Amino acid sequence: MEAYEAGQRVFAESRPQEFAAKVPQLPADVEWHFIGHLQTNKLKLVLPYATLVQSVDSERLLQAIEQWGSVHERTVSILLEVHISSDAAKQGFTDAEILSVLGRTAGFPHVRFRGLMGMATLTEDTAVIAGDFARIAALKALVNEIFPDLTDFTELSIGMSGDWRLALEAGSTMVRIGTAIFGPREY
């Protein structure tokens, strides 16, 4: 509430259960983003409230979101998560998969493709991080060139509390800086 009272109106959460619990705790004019890994069995906790799902990381999840939107007669705004880091455990589409999905947007009438999201390699090496961010920014530029009809494809969500400055230099339109504002998550 302190952040809300200071003027913040966009909030995000990375865990479906916490997302669903926090939404009713803040006023209705909050714009909620979901930024974590989302399993298809947790859609009902997130999609009724999310203004933007930043972390669509697989074709299976994308199909489930389309199905949910069809059943509930809603269009869901999303970012496609790109696997840009060298960490094999990270989620996300390859560049080729992104281009394939965006070539078939007509098959997703209940999905509004808004841009790309990615996380850099977890390292202290700023050159590696900057390289990861440059790669995803280049992919977004390529998408905008190949698919000029995707006029809503404007967002580039890269950068977190430790690397947001590098993300802004690469053209980020959204940074995820909850730890810098609220402190480390207590588990």
Q: List, for residues 127-136, the tens digit of each pLDDT value.
A: 999 999 999 9
CB 108 within 8 A of CB 66: yes
Residue 71 domain-assigned (yes or no) = yes
Looking at residue 187, its pLDDT comes to 62
Pairing label, strands 31-34, 52-56: parallel
Alpha-carbon dihedral sign for residues 19, 20, 25, 30: positive
Residue 161 domain-assigned (yes or no) = yes
Least confident of 57-61, 66-70, 106-110, 122-126: 122-126
Helix (H, G, I), strand (E, B) or coil at 45: helix
* CATH number, residue 112: 3.20.20.10
Write down the pTM of the prediction.
Answer: 0.91
Residue 31 domain-assigned (yes or no) = yes
57 Ramachandran zone, left/alpha/beta (phi>0; psi -120 to 50): alpha
Residue 98 domain-assigned (yes or no) = yes
How far apart CA 104 and CA 76 sit, in angstroms, is 16
**Token pair for residue 146?**
């190949």
CB 124 within 8 A of CB 135: no
Looking at residue 161, its pLDDT comes to 83
Residue 61 domain-assigned (yes or no) = yes
Note down the domain range covering 83.
Answer: 2-182
Q: List, for residues 69-105, the tens digit of each pLDDT value.
A: 999 999 999 999 999 866 666 689 999 999 999 999 9
Residue 187 domain-assigned (yes or no) = no
Q: List, for residues 157-181, the tens digit of each pLDDT value.
A: 998 888 889 999 999 999 887 766 7
